[in-house]
Structure 1
Amino acid sequence: MSMINVPDNEATPPLETFDVVVVGAGLSGVGAAYHLTRQCPDRRFVVLESQESFGGTWLTHRFPGIRSDSDLYTLGYRFKPWTGPPIATAAEIRRYMGEVIAENGLAAHIRYRHAIVSADWSPDDKRWTIVAVRTDTGERLLFAANFLWMCQGYYRHAEGYTPDWDGMAAFKGQIVHPQTWPDDLDYTGKQVLVIGSGATAATLVPAIAGDCAHVTILQRSPTFYRTGRNAIPIADELRQLDIKEEWIHEIVRKKILYEQAAFTRRCLAEPEAVKADMLADVRAHLGPEAAVDPHFTPRYRPWRQRIAFVPNGDLFATIRSGQTSVVTDEIERFTEAGILLKSGKTLTADIIVTATGFHLSGPGAIDFSIGGQALDFTDTVTYRGMMFTGVPNLAWIFGYFRASWTLRVDLVADFVCRLLNHMQATGVSEVQPALRAEDQDMPILPWTDPEDFNPGYLMRGMHLLPKRGDKPDWQHSQDYWAEKDQFPAIDFADPAFVFK
């Protein structure tokens, strides 16, 4: 039987049983719920979400100007046309998700403020027993399910990553991380120092610069930026022709995917040419005399880290106007009035914003066990980035680095629903991936290749993630164009799947 972690002095709560438990009500979890209702309509499922509402990333982050850095034609679902500007605000994304929930009757399946504490697989009962806690009341709850679907994303929502710099306690102003932005933070007329120059800074700075006395972006190393209009001309033209939104969504989606794939290939094949084009774009926004080197010339090739999209060049407009300045240096220590840099220069500030990334979280930051024995996902090898060797009846949605996260939500959902239907049709109750005979001597590697993609959050947290093999079946390829054809062709007769 499953081991339930309930204190001796606390009564065991009643057990609710489902066919599937979905973890998280962000883009992944809401997408999973939709596909379950369509492709597995006879399955009982519940979505457990730790926050007070749906949205995931788009609920956690509430800093000024929060918006997508992927277009909504691909960040949106394939089944729900997007009709607004391609780069959308968090409020617009949550409104879109709310429509998906309302239009498909998903609200009845979602339990909010349910934080999962542990999950134990019972080899005898062929089910997961999940212990959850109500975040508002502290009440402990028990759920059981034959299949556990992890849709919680890959970072810790409770707090962002802030390095432990020397002297932080001495600073007399406020230190704020964008992930936990205070609702009452007043930056009007203040000197604001933003540490970091990635997508968060590129979003935040244009939103606050007009209200601050001045904003300074302090970066250790530059980021690649792409600019463009926040519009898709072909979408606007098709709407003028009164084309159905479903058709527009599909046409624009395919066009964007094709162009993104072509750009990625060019980044790998002609990195110096792409770099020159991107720096020329920055110079065009800042003016011919702008200091593109060193402030906008990264040390890595394009797409080795995520490229920040700047719609309508708004970040560069604040720099050109003098509202924002950029400093490239390293921090020696914090002072009472700001920061002392290793160059000896000092930066004063009333507010310091640490736009320094997030904490990577493995599959759920949950205490997993199998038959009461602790499960360490880092000891497993991934099957195509969505299942793990030796772990029964569990799938994980992990999106794409160089394309919209939600593209993989739809693909993985198709696979999981097909797997569930296959298990029902063949009368089996357990499945887990296993290395085949020909895979036994395969090199086992980290989750991703640092030479291919190496942002700070991934390098800091690689030790938390499962391993990959050097064969396509045993890694997350990060290639949507290949996976969209490979996933539907996965054969459950493959010895990589062990059914019981």
Structure 2
Amino acid sequence: MDTYDVVIIGAGWFGLSAAKTRLEIHPEEKLLVLESASSFGGSWSADRLYPGLKSNNFWGSYEHPDFPMLEEVYGVKHGQHIPAAVLHQYLTDFAKRFGVYERTKLNAFVRHAKQMPDGTWELSAEISGAKTVIRTAKLIIATGLTSQPNLPTYAGEESFTGLKFHAKSFCEHGETAKSAKRVVIVGCGKSAYDCAYAFATEGDAQVDLLIRPSGQGPVWLVPGHVTPFRRMMEELLHTRCLTWFSPTPWGAEDGYGVAREWLQKNGLGRLITANWWANMNNEVIETHGFDTDPELFKFKPWQPAFWTGSGVGIHNFDSSLWDLVKKGRIRAHIADIDKLDGSQVFLSNGKVLEADVICCATGWRKESTMTFEGVELEGLGLPIPAEEQARLRKEADEEVLERFPILRNQPVLRYERTKSEPLRYYRFMVPPSHFNRRNLAFAGMVSTTSTASFANAQALWISAYFDGKLSREPKSQDEVVKEVLLHTQFGKWRYPCGYGDSLPDFAFDALPYVDMLLNDLGIKNHRKGTTMAELVEPYKPRDYKGITQEWLGVADKCQLAN
């Protein structure tokens, strides 16, 4: 049995950042990264790249603070989206640069994690087809939210004469982008639009895109630059004064709680906030012309952007997606698939389509493929009786609505909201019942467009937490539970058209979340040169360069003081 100090499962953004930070703090530790894919990168691994795939983020907002994506190395410039192949190479280079590459085993599947009486973990794994057992003192699960595809089944699909696959497998079937003539795309999120664009431009396919009548409707696909000042969308999300327009219970972590409270609770402040969000909606609708063309109108989002979190997409295509719609190359149908028969796809609206490819851009299953042993079932959730949970949930709901009246008027949805419990982790990383054990953390179990900054901050927070060296911690288990319930119940009210019912979702609340983690660590969260810059200059990953060394200096001073 191989024994390690730390095992990290996953070699995407969050797993690689966690490994880099842990090695920077404890270079003497024995660390292992296990990755189920055959290459580094997670969502950007080699076997998940398909024609035309790029990042939603522009260059400069999707790089690790301590590893700049240099133009002379990677060929990407300011104002450009990053090709998927470049991101895969970048993350592979990152692993090599920080000593993670040689500590990683690829094609490694962890099936089972057993907590031993002494608090260590025994992992049952399969590495390159060989079964093995691994022991580790501490475990970081960084498999993320896009590992297990949600692939629907349809009546009669055994008779379907074409090819059916999930968007995750588009790389494997990339040749169909040029060869397919009749393509049905199931879904209306950003990945569905990516696939539709690839099929319509790489070859000469007729693309039919299906929007489920009982679903969330089309994704908000916003221009890369918005407002009369032509600001990048991700820059708006990370401009401190603009984050005040979005309610969040951890908002005061940025030091401007008075301004936030006025905008959320004062009558005039609420009017200003409502107008700001309305202008954001109208700019996207007018720019894309959704109300001027009957076919484009089918792609108009069903709910205001306010209720959607990180699911917003960026129009990062080389040419206009909407021109393809106007030309009839991409057609939208508000319908489900009733059944398949041969090459025919029967829709719930009575139409019948011909297809040689069905690509399901139908999202991801959120449950883990791992099983746990030696942990009570509620051990990965709330360690309190159901009755107490219900009481605390009610109290959290009341607090959310009292603090943020804008959330009382919830949107009317076409679908039934999930009744399952969301992920309830402290700081969205640590199961409450495990907080005092300091042997388990989840990195990247969040949906965010702030991936690079989140991965860096979470990595440092987890290492400090494992070492018992956070500058600020909850004083009791009750405090942990109450805060977890407040933050997770808030997500259900804030993002009913996003992922708030099931997991942490972030948009304009991302910057104050990073503030909260840095405050826990005892390092400065205001990282601009002046107050004006702090308020109006967008935060980029580069603003967090060197925070691990910065924290080590703080931790050393605290140790000497004690």
User: Taking structure 2 as the reference length, what is the TM-score of the superposition?
Assistant: 0.67
2: CA distance, partners of 1:385 / 1:488: 15
| Match among 345, 353, 372 for residue 368 of structure 1 | 372
- Unaligned 5+ runs, structure 2: 248-272, 384-423, 523-562
Q: Which amino acid in 1 is paired with 2:95?
A: I
Residue 324, structure 1, aligned to residue 330, structure 2: yes
2: CA distance, partners of 1:359 / 1:38: 33
The answer to whether the Cα contact below 8 Å between 2:13 and 2:452 also exists between their aligned partners in 1 is: yes
How many residue pairs were aligned?
A: 433
| Match among 461, 467, 479 for residue 415 of structure 1 | 461
Query: 1:472: which partner in 2?
Result: none
Query: 2:553: which partner in 1?
Result: none
Q: Which amino acid in 1 is paired with 2:519?
A: A
The answer to whether the Cα contact below 8 Å between 1:368 and 1:375 also exists between their aligned partners in 2 is: no
2: CA distance, partners of 1:320 / 1:328: 17
2: CA distance, partners of 1:457 / 1:480: 15
Cα offset, 1:455, TM superposition: 5.5
Q: Which amino acid in 1 is paired with 2:115?
A: W
| Match among 488, 511, 527 for residue 481 of structure 1 | 511
Matches for 1:212-223 after TM superposition, within 5 Å: 212-220=204-212, 221-223=217-219
Residue 40, structure 1, aligned to residue 26, structure 2: yes
2: CA distance, partners of 1:353 / 1:375: 37
Residue 117, structure 1, aligned to residue 111, structure 2: yes
The answer to whether the Cα contact below 8 Å between 1:367 and 1:374 also exists between their aligned partners in 2 is: no
Q: Which amino acid in 2 is paired with 1:179?
A: K
2: CA distance, partners of 1:374 / 1:143: 23
Query: 1:58: which partner in 2?
Result: 44
Show CA shifts across 1:57-88 (max 9, x none): 11252333222223353332121223425422
Show CA shifts across 1:459-497 (max 9, x none): 6xx3xx7xx9xxxxxx999833223332233279xxxxx
2: CA distance, partners of 1:377 / 1:222: 34
The answer to whether the Cα contact below 8 Å between 1:266 and 1:274 also exists between their aligned partners in 2 is: no
Q: 1:477 to 1:149 in 2, by over 3 A?
A: farther
- Please give the root-mean-square deviation of Cα atoms over the aligned residues, in Å: 3.8
The answer to whether the Cα contact below 8 Å between 2:432 and 2:477 also exists between their aligned partners in 1 is: yes
Matches for 1:99-178 after TM superposition, within 5 Å: 99-123=93-117, 125-134=118-127, 136-137=128-129, 139-157=130-148, 160-178=149-167
Query: 1:249: which partner in 2?
Result: none
2: CA distance, partners of 1:337 / 1:447: 45
1: CA distance, partners of 2:8 / 2:449: 24
The alignment partner of 2:89 has SS state of helix
Query: 2:431: which partner in 1?
Result: 388
Q: 1:400 to 1:358 in 2, by over 3 A?
A: closer
| Match among 15, 24, 35 for residue 10 of structure 2 | 24
2: CA distance, partners of 1:142 / 1:343: 52
Q: Percent same amino acid at aligned positions?
A: 19
Query: 1:397: which partner in 2?
Result: 443
Cα offset, 1:168, TM superposition: 2.7
Query: 2:353: which partner in 1?
Result: 347
Matches for 1:415-454 after TM superposition, within 5 Å: 415-422=461-468, 435-436=477-478, 449-454=491-496
Residue 269, structure 1, aligned to residue 274, structure 2: yes
2: CA distance, partners of 1:415 / 1:343: 51
Show CA shifts across 1:190-230 (max 9, x none): 11111112111221222221303311222123221112379
Residue 309, structure 1, aligned to residue 314, structure 2: yes
Residue 225, structure 1, aligned to residue 267, structure 2: no
| Match among 55, 77, 84 for residue 64 of structure 2 | 77
More strand by share: 1
2: CA distance, partners of 1:97 / 1:176: 27
Cα offset, 1:126, TM superposition: 3.2
Cα offset, 1:96, TM superposition: 0.8
Query: 2:169: which partner in 1?
Result: 180
Q: 1:300 to 1:311 in 2, by over 3 A?
A: same
Cα offset, 1:388, TM superposition: 0.9
Q: 1:324 to 1:374 in 2, by over 3 A?
A: closer
The answer to whether the Cα contact below 8 Å between 1:118 and 1:130 also exists between their aligned partners in 2 is: yes
Q: Which amino acid in 2 is paired with 1:228?
A: G
Q: 1:227 to 1:234 in 2, by over 3 A?
A: closer
Q: Which amino acid in 2 is paired with 1:258?
A: H
Cα offset, 1:449, TM superposition: 3.1
Q: Which amino acid in 1 is paired with 2:465?
A: L
| Match among 91, 94, 101 for residue 88 of structure 2 | 94
2: CA distance, partners of 1:31 / 1:204: 29
The worse-fitting range, judged by mean Cα deviation, of 65-74 and 18-27 is 65-74
The alignment partner of 1:176 has SS state of strand
Query: 1:294: which partner in 2?
Result: 298
The alignment partner of 2:314 has SS state of strand
1: CA distance, partners of 2:39 / 2:510: 30
The alignment partner of 1:133 has SS state of strand
More helix by share: 2
The answer to whether the Cα contact below 8 Å between 1:74 and 1:253 also exists between their aligned partners in 2 is: no
The answer to whether the Cα contact below 8 Å between 1:117 and 1:132 also exists between their aligned partners in 2 is: yes
The answer to whether the Cα contact below 8 Å between 1:357 and 1:457 also exists between their aligned partners in 2 is: no
The answer to whether the Cα contact below 8 Å between 2:457 and 2:517 also exists between their aligned partners in 1 is: yes
Q: Which amino acid in 2 is paired with 1:383?
A: Y
Cα offset, 1:394, TM superposition: 0.7
Q: 1:79 to 1:341 in 2, by over 3 A?
A: same
The answer to whether the Cα contact below 8 Å between 2:11 and 2:41 also exists between their aligned partners in 1 is: yes
The answer to whether the Cα contact below 8 Å between 1:49 and 1:113 also exists between their aligned partners in 2 is: yes
Residue 191, structure 1, aligned to residue 195, structure 2: no
Q: Which amino acid in 2 is paired with 1:452?
A: R
